[in-house]
């Protein structure tokens, strides 16, 4: 079937650069088949929405476990498997195994890949040895290993076709994010914001692994891949040296802005979208300036990497609010006009709705009412501070200063949402967002930089918002009005990627280990099942042999595994209250398994 | 093991301070590896019996904490709290309580001597088996850690002995002048 498609494409493309268009057309076509799940977010738009509708709000209560699979690894399991025809590709955290399972043969392991990596990379990974999944394209499975090796595996055999080093773990660069295949290239970001890495997104040729372009988050214009005249920020050209002007001296060289989140792509516009992370260090006093382009949404030409537009959400970050969360692309009407939108739920607690063609800011609203570090974004186009968040002095760690503890900041550094991706249903035009409901104290102090060593410079303590005992919410969000439609309380942060389906059901996982199904319209809980360990993976669906399946990795860990394993403290209530915010370790233990659900036959 | 923490035994050139710290850490390592230090922290009474420039020592001469009846902690305990939550907590969890992938240091220091502690922090350790891969990095050449080794130890020792709780110590002794001086030279500041 795929062969046939490739052949047809080849015929019609004749003189064009062959590999490129073929892989692209193939992937677009494949992502439109709801039986498969061919890219990390299901589609290029990162909607995490499936047209499958066998499982509905009416029957999801009868869901049962169909089969399970142990990965053999006991670390935080983020991301989710890919499903292509009969094959399922399951990845693991370090040592980054990949299993190819044949779904038509009782999940027999067709091949297994296990790289040999220096375990010294383990402690260089800031927050557990997670990996957010593999990508498919051109008959290959692409994996970004912890040691930053990007490897292309033959999807049929697991044989290594090529591999390339994307960074230097000796300097703190690591690989955690999932690649994305666009045309004849595979794109990948890099982690290391707590080690002062100058981070980038890089495109490699899918046939050879040769680097095609690399775009840094900070640095001179030729490293940023920007055009001072044509690249715009809220409609205005960014001008020359837009990044290095906003750093002191050479600090941009250890500036962070890491790119460990998700990549989105609009084939019609040929633009790729992603966000950059925190500027290094966490001590804002040590890096005066806006620190561009950390904390920024980038829209780039997929062929050349050249930036079309940028928007910095949190200039001169003072709280570690990385901007890496996914960009969800949707086509919706606003005030009667059809718009190509980009919706982004930032760590800083604001949800942004933008025009993805030109980067116009349409909506910026808090998606947790407890967010207090800002009173909101200046939406007045003629204001000199247009597009900037208004910072509340009381919660500014810059203004409070070094060696002083700024208390009661909401959200905490892990953000109102972290990497756990939201879902969008075109049926309801709602976004389903897993969120954290946690506040913090933050004390910055001076640190010195040593290559390959942590470069943090702040002390944090985290706790639920005063007067509340739950630390997470699962919400439905209207991106046109910037309002919460419904909100379900969760005891712990919701650290699992959501899934929306045409059956009117939305799925997500919890840190205690529950897979939950809720009504897309009302949020009413319809089903839950306790998997072997806490869930920080993303829920996936596929169809095999006429049955719709729901799959999710469990295996507690990640950043959620740091604070919550021990339980958070409430500094305002003293030690007696600790028990009130019970530790996650009272609910779950390490694990590593895939649980797959279906309706009874 | 008095000499381990007695500053007067070291060269006094401030430029050499980090180097000195690293050397000192290396020396401690040799002890740890050869089993020269076997005393467990909980086997020793942690009560402070003397102090030197705001740093307290138990009767064995090992650095320790001092908490006044009104809850005021010594500077090192407070500083250790801050440094711990910058450098260590991303793996070892808040307040030394551990995470899903690194042990709770409030427990570890109960059975670990001062020398072992310093050695492991400086040189790292690996615990890699077929079911588990835990790796502690070598932090000896990271001034943000190496210059605060005693602060970290004293804070965790206080935690292990339930002398301070899970939250930020509310009251602290002033930063000793000698401490500021040593810190600046160790961190290479003027």
Rounded CA separation B158/A503 (Å) = 56
Of all residues in chain A, the one with the smallest CA distance to B162 is A575
Rounded CA separation A54/A43 (Å) = 20
> What residues of chain A lie within 8 A of the CB of B135, using their CB?
119-120, 122-123
Rounded CA separation B66/B15 (Å) = 31
Q: What average pLDDT does this structure show over A356-383?
A: 98
Residue A466 backbone phi and psi in degrees, to 5: -50, 135
User: Which residues neighbour B16 within 8 Å (Cβ) at sequence distance 6 or greater?
Assistant: none
Rounded CA separation A271/A234 (Å) = 17
Among the options A266, A290, A320, A346, which is catalytic? Answer: A320
Rounded CA separation A388/A145 (Å) = 36
Helix (H) or strand (E) holding A29, with range, is: helix A18-31
Rounded CA separation B46/B60 (Å) = 9
List strands edge to edge, sheet with A180-182: A180-182, A185-188, A200-205, A211-216
Per-residue exposure over A463-482, b if at least 16 CB sit within 10 Å of its own CB, e if not: bbbeeeeebbbbbbbbbbeb
For residue A205, what pLDDT band results from cuts at 50, 70 and 90?
very high
Flag whether pLDDT at A3 surpasses 50: no
Size of interface A-B (CB pairs under 8 A): 122
B101-145: pLDDT as tens digits:
888 999 999 999 999 999 999 999 988 776 677 889 899 989 999
A160-187: pLDDT as tens digits:
999 999 999 999 999 999 999 999 999 9
| Of residues A123, A129, A569, nearest to B166 (C-beta) | A569
Rounded CA separation A121/A437 (Å) = 31
Q: What average pLDDT does this structure show over A144-164?
A: 98
pLDDT value for A459: 87
pLDDT value for A559: 81
In angstroms, the first-to-last Cα distance of chain B is 31
A532-555: pLDDT as tens digits:
999 999 999 999 999 999 999 999
CA distances from A283 to A58, A446, B147, B148 (A): 51, 7, 18, 18
Residue B63 backbone phi and psi in degrees, to 5: -55, 140
Q: What average pLDDT does this structure show over A198-209?
A: 97
Residue B12 backbone phi and psi in degrees, to 5: -100, -5
Flag whether pLDDT at A579 surpasses 50: no
Tally the C-alpha atoms within 13 A of residue A404's C-alpha that lie toward its C-beta.
Answer: 12
Query: Taking Cα atoms as reference points, which of A319, A281, A316 lies closest to residue A296?
Result: A316
User: Which residues neighbour A546 within 8 Å (Cβ) at sequence distance 6 or greater?
Assistant: none
Using CB atoms and an 8 Å cut-off, which of residues 17-76 of chain A contact chain B? 74-76
- Structure-block tokens of residue A510: 């919890």
Query: Around Cβ A163, how many Cβ atoms within 10 Å?
Result: 15
Flag whether pLDDT at B38 surpasses 90: no
Given an 8 Å threshold on Cβ–Cβ distance, is B93 in contact with A565? yes
- Structure-block tokens of residue A134: 């593999």
* Chain mean pLDDT for chain B: 80
| Of residues B84, B98, B133, nearest to A566 (C-beta) | B98
Rounded CA separation A579/A240 (Å) = 55
Flag whether pLDDT at A562 surpasses 70: yes
- Structure-block tokens of residue A90: 């399951």
Rounded CA separation A215/A471 (Å) = 36
pLDDT value for B62: 96
- Structure-block tokens of residue B8: 């007067």
Length of chain A: 601
> What residues of chain B lie within 8 A of the CB of A439, using their CB?
none
- Return the higher-pLDDT residue of A456 and A33: A33
For residue A568, what pLDDT band results from cuts at 50, 70 and 90?
low
pLDDT value for A453: 87
Q: Are A539 and A498 in contact (CB under 8 A)?
A: yes
For residue B36, what pLDDT band results from cuts at 50, 70 and 90?
very low
Shortest distance between the Cα of B50 and any Cα of chain A, in A, equals 28
Rounded CA separation A130/A144 (Å) = 11
DSSP secondary structure string, A104-172?
GGTTEEEEEE-----GGGGGGSBTBS-----EEETTEEEEE-TTSEEEEEETTT--EEEEEE-S-GGGT
Rounded CA separation B83/A269 (Å) = 48
Query: Taking Cα atoms as reference points, which of A365, A388, A364 lies closest to residue A378?
Result: A388
> Could you give the residue ranges of the DSSP H alpha helices within A392-469?
397-400
∠ CA B88-B139-A248, nearest 5°, is: 80
User: Which residues neighbour A597 within 8 Å (Cβ) at sequence distance 6 or greater?
Assistant: A63, A64, A65, A66, A515, A529, A549, A550, A551
Q: Is A320 a catalytic residue?
A: yes
For residue A10, what pLDDT band results from cuts at 50, 70 and 90?
very low
User: Which residues neighbour A482 within 8 Å (Cβ) at sequence distance 6 or greater?
Assistant: A351, A353, A363, A364, A365
B78-88: pLDDT as tens digits:
999 999 988 89
Q: What average pLDDT does this structure show over A39-54?
A: 97
Flag whether pLDDT at A457 surpasses 60: yes
What A311-314 contacts at long range (C-beta under 8 Å, 24+ apart), as own/partner pairs, is: A311/A233, A311/A234, A311/A352, A311/A354, A311/A359, A311/A361, A311/A387, A312/A233, A313/A275, A313/A346, A313/A348, A313/A350, A313/A352, A313/A389, A314/A346, A314/A348, A314/A389
Q: Are A151 and A145 in contact (CB under 8 A)?
A: yes
For residue A444, what pLDDT band results from cuts at 50, 70 and 90?
very high
> What residues of chain A lie within 8 A of the CB of B188, using their CB?
448
A224-261: pLDDT as tens digits:
999 999 999 999 999 999 999 999 999 999 999 999 99
Extended strands (E) in chain B: 50-52, 55-57, 63-64, 125-128, 133-136
Per-residue exposure over A176-212, b if at least 16 CB sit within 10 Å of its own CB, e if not: bbbbbbbbbbbbbbbbbbbbbbbbbbbbbbbbebeeb
pLDDT value for A189: 98
- For tokens 């929306």, name the residue: A500
Mutation site, B101, B146, B183, interface A, largest A CB count within 10 A: B101
Query: Taking Cα atoms as reference points, which of A493, A487, A496, A488 lies closest to residue A463?
Result: A493
pLDDT value for A565: 62
With an 8 Å Cβ cutoff, is A91 touching chain B? no
Flag whether pLDDT at B33 surpasses 50: no
Q: What average pLDDT does this structure show over A41-60?
A: 98
For residue A581, what pLDDT band results from cuts at 50, 70 and 90?
very low
Q: Are B119 and B33 in contact (CB under 8 A)?
A: yes
Shortest distance between the Cα of A181 and any Cα of chain B, in A, equals 31
For residue A454, what pLDDT band results from cuts at 50, 70 and 90?
confident
Given an 8 Å threshold on Cβ–Cβ distance, is A441 in contact with B144? no
For residue A13, what pLDDT band results from cuts at 50, 70 and 90?
very low
Shortest distance between the Cα of B68 and any Cα of chain A, in A, equals 18
Flag whether pLDDT at B16 surpasses 70: no
With an 8 Å Cβ cutoff, is B177 touching chain A? no
> What residues of chain A lie within 8 A of the CB of B84, using their CB?
459
| Of residues A128, A461, A569, nearest to B101 (C-beta) | A128
- Return the higher-pLDDT residue of A290 and A588: A290
| Of residues B94, B124, B143, nearest to A461 (C-beta) | B94
Rounded CA separation A166/A149 (Å) = 6
Three-state secondary-structure class, residue B82: helix
pLDDT value for A578: 37
CA distances from B15 to B11, B28, B186 (A): 10, 21, 8
- Structure-block tokens of residue A441: 């104290």
pLDDT value for B47: 94
A102-126: pLDDT as tens digits:
999 999 999 999 999 998 898 888 6
With an 8 Å Cβ cutoff, is A561 touching chain B? yes
pLDDT value for A567: 65
Of all residues in chain A, the one with the smallest CA distance to B133 is A119
Q: What average pLDDT does this structure show over A32-57?
A: 97
Q: What is the DSSP letter of B87?
A: I
For residue A467, what pLDDT band results from cuts at 50, 70 and 90?
confident
Q: What average pLDDT does this structure show over A45-63?
A: 98
Question: B141's torsion region: left (phi>0), alpha (psi -120 to 50) or beta?
Answer: alpha
With an 8 Å Cβ cutoff, is A556 touching chain B? yes
| Of residues A441, A454, A561, nearest to B99 (C-beta) | A561
Most confident of A468-472, A533-537, B32-36: A533-537
* Chain mean pLDDT for chain A: 92
pLDDT value for A271: 98
Extended strands (E) in A412-457: 423-425, 430-436, 439-444
């Amino acid at each position: 079937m795929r062969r046939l498609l490739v052949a047809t494409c080849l015929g019609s493309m004749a003189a064009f650069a062959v590999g490129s268009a073929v892989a692209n057309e193939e992937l677009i076509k494949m992502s439109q088949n709801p039986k498969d799940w061919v890219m990390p977010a299901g589609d290029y738009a990162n909607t995490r929405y499936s047209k499958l509708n066998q499982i509905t709000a009416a029957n999801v209560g009868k869901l049962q476990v169909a089969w399970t699979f142990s990965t053999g690894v006991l670390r935080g399991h983020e991301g989710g498997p890919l499903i292509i025809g009969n094959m399922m590709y399951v990845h693991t955290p370090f040592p980054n195994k990949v299993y190819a399972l044949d779904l038509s043969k009782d999940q027999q392991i067709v091949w297994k890949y296990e790289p040999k990596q220096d375990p010294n990379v383990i402690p260089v990974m800031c927050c557990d040895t997670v990996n957010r999944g593999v990508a498919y394209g051109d008959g290959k499975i692409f994996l970004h290993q912890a040691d930053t090796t990007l490897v292309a595996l033959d999807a049929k055999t697991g044989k290594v076709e090529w591999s390339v080093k994307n960074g230097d773990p000796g300097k703190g660069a690591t690989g955690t994010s999932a690649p994305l295949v666009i045309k004849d290239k595979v794109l990948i970001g890099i982690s290391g914001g707590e080690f002062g890495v100058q981070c980038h997104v890089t495109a490699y040729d899918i046939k050879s692994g040769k680097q095609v372009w690399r775009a840094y988050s900070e640095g001179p214009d030729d490293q940023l891949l920007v055009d001072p005249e044509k690249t715009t920020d809220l409609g205005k050209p960014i001008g020359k040296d837009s990044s290095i002007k906003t750093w002191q001296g050479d600090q941009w060289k250890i500036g962070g802005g890491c790119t460990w989140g998700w990549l989105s792509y609009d084939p019609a516009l040929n633009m790729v979208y992603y966000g950059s992370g925190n500027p290094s260090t966490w001590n804002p006093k040590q890096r005066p300036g806006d620190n561009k382009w950390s904390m920024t949404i980038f829209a780039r030409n997929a062929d050349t990497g050249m930036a079309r537009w940028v928007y910095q959400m949190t200039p001169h970050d003072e709280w570690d609010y990385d901007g890496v969360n996914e960009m969800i692309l949707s086509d919706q009407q606003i005030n009667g006009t059809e718009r190509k939108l980009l919706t982004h739920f930032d760590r800083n607690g604001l949800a942004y709705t933008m025009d993805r063609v030109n980067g116009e800011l349409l909506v910026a609203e808090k998606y947790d009412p407890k967010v207090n570090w800002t009173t909101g974004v200046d939406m007045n186009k003629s204001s000199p501070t247009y597009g900037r968040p208004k910072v509340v002095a009381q919660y500014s760690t810059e203004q409070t200063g070094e060696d002083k503890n700024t208390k009661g900041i909401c959200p905490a550094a892990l953000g109102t949402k972290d990497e756990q991706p939201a879902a969008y249903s075109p049926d309801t035009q709602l976004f389903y967002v897993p969120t954290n409901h946690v506040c913090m104290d933050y004390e910055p102090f001076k640190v010195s930089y040593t290559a390959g060593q942590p470069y943090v410079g702040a002390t944090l303590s985290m706790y639920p918002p005063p007067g509340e005992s739950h630390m997470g919410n699962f919400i439905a969000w209207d991106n046109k009005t910037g309002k919460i439609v419904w909100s379900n309380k969760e005891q712990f942060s919701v650290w699992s990627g959501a899934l929306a389906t045409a059956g009117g059901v939305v799925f997500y996982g919890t840190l205690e280990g529950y897979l939950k199904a809720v009504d897309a319209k009302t949020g009413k809980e319809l089903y839950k099942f306790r998997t072997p360990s806490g869930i920080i993976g993303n829920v996936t669906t596929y169809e095999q042999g006429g049955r719709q399946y729901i799959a999710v990795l469990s295996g507690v860990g990640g950043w959620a595994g740091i604070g919550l394993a021990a339980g958070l403290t409430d500094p305002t209530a003293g030690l007696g209250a600790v028990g009130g915010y019970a530790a996650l370790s009272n609910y779950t233990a390490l694990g590593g398994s895939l649980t797959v659900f279906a309706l009874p036959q | 093991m008095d000499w381990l923490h007695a500053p007067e035994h070291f060269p006094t050139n401030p430029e050499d301070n980090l180097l000195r710290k690293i050397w000192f850490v290396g020396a401690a390592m040799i002890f740890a590896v050869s089993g020269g230090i076997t005393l467990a922290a909980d086997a020793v009474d942690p009560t402070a019996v003397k102090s030197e420039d705001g740093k307290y020592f138990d009767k064995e001469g090992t650095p320790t904490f001092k908490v006044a009846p009104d809850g005021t902690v010594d500077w090192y305990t407070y500083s250790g709290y801050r440094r711990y939550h910058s450098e260590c907590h991303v793996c070892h969890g808040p307040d030394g309580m551990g995470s899903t992938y690194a042990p709770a240091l409030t427990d570890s220091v109960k059975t670990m001597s001062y020398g072992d502690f310093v050695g492991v922090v400086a040189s790292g350790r690996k615990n890699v088996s077929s079911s588990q891969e835990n790796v502690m990095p070598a932090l000896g050449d990271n001034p943000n850690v190496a210059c605060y080794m005693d602060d970290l130890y004293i804070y965790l020792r206080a935690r292990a002995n339930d002398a301070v709780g899970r939250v930020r110590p509310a009251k602290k002794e002033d930063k000793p002048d000698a401490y500021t001086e040593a810190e600046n030279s160790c961190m290479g500041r003027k």
